[in-house]
Amino acid sequence: MPDDTELELLPEQAFADMVRIRPVLDRIADKWTILILTVLCPKPARFNEIKRRLNGITHKALADALKRLERNGLVTRTVLPTAPIGVEYAITPLGHSLRPPFEALCAWALAYGPDIERAGARFDQTKADR
């Protein structure tokens, strides 16, 4: 488990700028964005490859997320001259700039996931005992 002193708090200015920060976080912090960008960081991928790597995502959810990411400048969509026509998605430099914070968030999730599971089990047990 990482030392709590390694986790930095947001600077006070971030709280003052929350009106500008929130819309950006709404665009990048949804259920699938982090995972999609993580899949695309190493190399471009076609739709079905992304879907296979993200076990559990529906066709519609992936299509909607990729459109949103393209609209926000985080991925590009390239139509391939194949038969049948294929589409490949790649991360943009803007999307790539999210790699360090996303990797840190994924590392945090791996490190603290068991703690969250235990906390949830304790909470559920406390509720059941009432």
Q: What is the pLDDT of residues 48-102, one digit of tens each?
A: 999 999 999 999 999 999 999 999 999 999 999 988 889 999 999 999 999 898 8
pLDDT digits (tens, 9 = 90+) for 9-48: 566 776 777 888 888 888 888 889 989 998 999 999 999 9
**The dihedral sign for the CA sequence 15, 29, 106, 111:** positive
CATH number of 4-97: 1.10.10.10
What residue segments make up the domains of the chain, in order of their start?
Answer: 4-97
Helix (H, G, I), strand (E, B) or coil at 89: strand
- Kindly list the distances between the CA atom of residue 5 and the CA atoms of 101, 103, 110, 112, in Å, as whole numbers in the listed order: 17, 19, 18, 15
